[in-house]
Amino acid sequence: MKHILSVLVENKPGVLSRVTGLVSRRGFNIDSLTVAPTEDVTMSRMTIIVDADEVGYEQITKQLHKLVSVYKISDLTDTDAIERELVLFKVVAPPEKRHEIIEIANIFRANIVDVGKNSLTVEATGTASKLDAMEDLFRSYGIRQLTRTGKIAMSRGASDR
């Protein structure tokens, strides 16, 4: 099953490769990974999604804990966490189809960020299922290009997990 890990690490060169190297070395595939500095610039937060069974997942977290560059690991898989992802769609949009696409974008509270002669670029944020639904709809018009950021996640309430 898919696990969402929120990993607080040192903000130093090479740390990303320590983390990804370790996960792949133990035989697991990373579904998605995002990394950026946190409120404290000496630290970065990684949100890693891995597909692993329980035993494998336990090994990954224990091994990650052993890295001196890792401060903290939170498992946000089954918690009531806020998950978001950002996506950019470049949709095929001849003039006669533009308003349909804009309408779809509006329904999903997405923004049009670029217009070309025959294309529209739509920026959307949300949960994975919302973005999947949008992608399905845009497919019928033709998607020239698509980029997803991968998930970021944060626990709800005051807890700093």
Partner 1 sequence: MTDSTRATAPMAGSPRTPDMPDDIRQHTCTSAAAGAYPATDMSREARLARKQRAISGEPFGPGSHTDKEGKTMTGAQAIIASLEAEGVDTVFGYPGGQAIKMYDALYDSTKIRHILARHEQGAVHEADGYARATGKVGVVMVTSGPGATNTVTGIATAYMDSVPLVVISGQVTRGVIGTDAFQEADIVGITMPVVKHSFLLQSNDDLTRTFREAFYIASTGRPGPVLIDIPSDLAGEQMVFHYPDKIDIPSYRPTYKGNAKQVRQAVELIRASTRPLLMVGGGCVSSHACDEVVELAESMQIPVVTTLIGKAAIPCSNPLNLGPVGMHGSKYANMAVTECNLIIAVGMRFSDRVTGKLNEFAPHAKVIHIDIDPAEIGKVRDPQVPIVGDARVVVAAINDRIAKVGATPVSDEWVKTCFAWRERWPFYTADFADYPDRIAPEVVLERLSSKLDPHASVVTTEVGQHQMWAHQHVHREESRTFISSGGLGTMGFGFPAAIGAKIGRPDCQVVCIAGDGSLQMNIQEMATAIGNGAAVKVLLIDNNALGMVHQWQRLFYHERYSCTEFTANPDFVKLAEAYGWKAERIGHPDQIDGALDRMLASPDPYLLDVVIPTNQTVYPMVAPGAAIDDIIGAIDVTLGGVRVTEKGMSPAGETAGIVAEPLPLSDDDADTRVAGATADIVPDEAASKGGE
Paired sense of beta strands 111-115 and 70-75, if any: unpaired
Residue 55 interacts with partner 1 (CB under 8 A)? Answer: yes
71 binds partner 1 (CB under 8 A): yes
Does 87 participate in binding partner 1 (rule CB under 8 A)? Answer: no
Q: Is 117 a residue that touches partner 1 (CB under 8 A)?
A: no
41 lies in the site for partner 1, by CB under 8 A: no
Considering only 16, 18, 98, 130, the residue that binds partner 1 (CB under 8 A) is 18
Separation in Å, CA 65 to CA 60, 72, 119: 9, 7, 46
What is the C-alpha to C-alpha distance for residues 103 and 24, in angstroms, rounded to an integer?
42
Report the alpha-carbon distance of residue 82 to residue 59 in Å, rounded. Answer: 25
Q: Which of 40, 51, 53, 58 binds partner 1 (CB under 8 A)?
A: 58
Q: Taking a C-beta distance cutoff of 8 angstroms, is the pair 76, 2 a contact?
A: no
15-25 and 54-66 helices, crossing angle to 10°: 150
Binding flag, residue 66, partner 1 (CB under 8 A): yes
Look up residue 118 and give its DSSP letter: S
CB of 46 to partner 1, least distance (A): 14
Cβ proximity to partner 1: between 55 and 158 the closer is 55
* Residue in 13, 78, 80, 95 binding partner 1, rule: CB under 8 A: 13
Which position among 2, 14, 29, 116 is part of the footprint of partner 1 (CB under 8 A)? 14
d(CA 92, CA 118): 6
Binding site for partner 1 (CB under 8 A): 10, 13-14, 17-18, 21-22, 25, 55, 58-59, 62-63, 65-71
